[in-house]
Structure 1
């Protein structure tokens, strides 16, 4: 007698025929996270027509998949909180918000609440039924700008795949140290720092990371860059810019010790001393709607602190007569 008493059963649909077993599972049971499904396959808790199946094996339409395990438990410790949200787009499948600097995306150690996730659950209670409450990517606490949130299980599956396939285009504005002559591309693998686990570092054998940048505006000793991510590693832009010796202004982890350029206006010196976060803003987001396929593009101007910094940089550059 098998102890396999399925909690869920489903037939492989026509459109998933020939797909890998693990991928078909993720599409058929979006309420289970991918890591959970992987674990269940390894434990032999997922059967295909009553037998074990390797993750990479192709499935055939009409086969029966049975799972004997509960879905991924949602950590409903995350409480809804009435925090303001700047919603830039919302429809039945997805939401795009413009995150202010200083707001943490997920609750975690040191931030049990007061996060974007708490705010989302208040404004969109239906997200409590979506894996990871709809979050498919994140922005660092002090990076501002656009984030997409899946509002349904099917959107979560499609958007997660689109993000992995690099089909969601994201563009950032970064103010960096040094007047750069031209744009370029940084290709340098990123992994956890060998000593300081809170930091990332460029390391051989890390995960592939590619960042494209072009100069949008040049100042006397700084540059405003438009940056496009090809991969989305933790702290990628911050690590890559520091790696090419043009760290982002104000970056508390990867920046250099604050240097006030010679001959800087008093206003610029003050602005640089006062800018206490990385000057990085997710300014543009473009994707195909997960259901209709139409192109959705949203733009967001940098927040006031970054606008003010740019104004002062412009005035300083003019004052130098360059």
Structure 2
């Protein structure tokens, strides 16, 4: 379990955030945020005051990363690139999450290493992490400024005959009329969103098409929603393109792999972050996943 309760001793009365700064190397901002999240306990009671004091024995909830042996596929002194398997979380959802990519990264590169962007839990492929705070700020800003050339592979239902640019605004908005509030949907009041789709190969025996998707904006679930919008949902998508009752069952982990294959075409989302190209500190990188996504996709289809 990455989050553990550890004992610490403050030899004299002092502000808790000062203890974290002096003894554990926190910045003042991180120390105060850490306390606000409820990570310090005194005599079993949660400290709620960011300006509170500690003296003698107290406990802190600490993140102690564990590794499952996932090696980076490429690295420099500033960043590392991992080929994330489908089903692995990028960040822990809560203190009880047994493993995420944050574990792997901080186990290898220390507490200041961090992930620079997000991909869905069921999406496989390239994930970029920074090894230090300065590199993290630079790389995250590059993602925000759309200086990263990202390419994805996806299997979609049906035959796509030609390349297409999907230019449809996306919004996150509650829908009280639905049993499941779709996380993202096309809406005229949404943010501008654009995805280029290149057709690679049609598989008539499965009535599905392998495509390359290039998101020109970085909205949540952008590729999934855009392909669903043009009537070609991604094979294995348990949300977009499914009946609301089945979405609820999936979210409640109440649907078997066999039933999911029957309803969506695969037991996982067939979306893979395949390529990442960018210029960092004057060097051009064009990095490609080493995963055989096509083989894994057919295996996931049963």
5 Å-filtered alignment, 1:198-217, equals 199-217=183-201
- Structure 1 partner of 2:172: 192
Q: 1:201 to 1:107 in 2, by over 3 A?
A: same
- Structure 2 partner of 1:169: 149
2:55 counterpart of 1:71 = no
- Structure 1 partner of 2:128: 148
- Structure 2 partner of 1:255: 241
2:89 counterpart of 1:89 = no
Contact 1:99–1:147 (CA under 8 A) maintained in structure 2: yes
- Structure 1 partner of 2:288: 299
After superposition, the CA RMSD in angstroms is 3.0
* TM superposition score normalised by structure 1: 0.64
**Partners of 2:189 and 2:141 in 1: how far apart?**
24
Contact 2:105–2:114 (CA under 8 A) maintained in structure 1: no
2:118 counterpart of 1:138 = yes
**Partners of 2:240 and 2:99 in 1: how far apart?**
26
5 Å-filtered alignment, 1:1-322, equals 70-73=28-31, 77-109=62-94, 112-125=97-110, 128-129=111-112, 133-195=113-175, 196-197=180-181, 199-220=183-204, 221-256=207-242, 272-273=261-262, 275-289=266-280, 291=281, 293-303=282-292, 306-310=294-298
- Structure 2: gaps (5+ residues): 1-25, 35-60, 247-257
**Partners of 2:273 and 2:297 in 1: how far apart?**
16
Q: 1:100 to 1:299 in 2, by over 3 A?
A: same
Deviations 1:9-37 (A, max 9, x none): xxxxxxxxxxxxxxxxxxxxxxx9xxxxx
**Aligned-residue offset at 1:301:** 4.3
**Aligned-residue offset at 1:109:** 4.2
Contact 1:137–1:147 (CA under 8 A) maintained in structure 2: yes
**Aligned-residue offset at 1:176:** 0.1
**Partners of 2:167 and 2:151 in 1: how far apart?**
17
**Partners of 1:72 and 1:240 in 2: how far apart?**
37
- Structure 1 partner of 2:21: none
**Partners of 2:72 and 2:224 in 1: how far apart?**
26
Q: 1:110 to 1:121 in 2, by over 3 A?
A: closer
- Structure 2 partner of 1:62: none
- Structure 1: gaps (5+ residues): 1-31, 33-68, 259-268, 314-322
Contact 1:202–1:239 (CA under 8 A) maintained in structure 2: yes
Deviations 1:85-125 (A, max 9, x none): 23111111111110000100001149623111112111111
Count of residues paired in the alignment: 229
* Greater alpha carbon shift after TM alignment, 170-179 vs 195-204: 195-204
The structure where strand makes up a greater share of residues is 2
Deviations 1:212-234 (A, max 9, x none): 11101112221000111111111
- Could you say what secondary structure the match of 2:73 adopts? strand
Contact 1:136–1:156 (CA under 8 A) maintained in structure 2: yes
Contact 1:286–1:297 (CA under 8 A) maintained in structure 2: yes
**Partners of 1:312 and 1:111 in 2: how far apart?**
28
